[in-house]
């Protein structure tokens, strides 16, 4: 088995997208005490947003566009 130091070294040598996926999976593995009411609220929110996009009541933008907008607001 790899030591934590060696595992970290190998993980940090991965491309950014792979590191992000690994980080996401690690965080997901820690989320065992989530309040079911909070989870249900987030699921409902996600479904509501999906429905708004499908109905055309809101327009989606790409992640790049959203980040650019936020950056402009912060300047």
Residue 30: what pLDDT? 80
**Residues with Cβ < 8 Å from 59, sequence gap 6 or more?**
53
**Residue ranges of the domains in the chain?**
1-32, 34-75
Residue 73: what pLDDT? 95
Residue 28: what pLDDT? 80
> SS3 for 69?
helix
Residue 3: what pLDDT? 92
Residues 32 and 38: their CA atoms lie apart, in Å, by 13
**Residues with Cβ < 8 Å from 11, sequence gap 6 or more?**
19, 22
Each residue's pLDDT expressed in tens, for the chain with a length of 75 residues: 789 999 999 999 999 999 999 998 898 888 667 788 988 898 899 999 999 999 999 988 999 999 999 999 999
End-to-end CA distance of the chain: 47
């Amino acid at each position: 088995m790899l030591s934590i130091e060696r595992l970290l070294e190998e993980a940090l040598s991965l491309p950014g997208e792979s590191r992000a996926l690994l980080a996401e999976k690690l965080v997901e593995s820690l989320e065992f005490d989530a309040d079911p009411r909070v989870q249900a609220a987030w699921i409902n929110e996600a479904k509501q947003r999906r429905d708004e996009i499908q109905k055309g009541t809101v327009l989606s933008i790409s992640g790049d566009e959203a980040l650019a907008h936020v950056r402009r607001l912060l300047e």
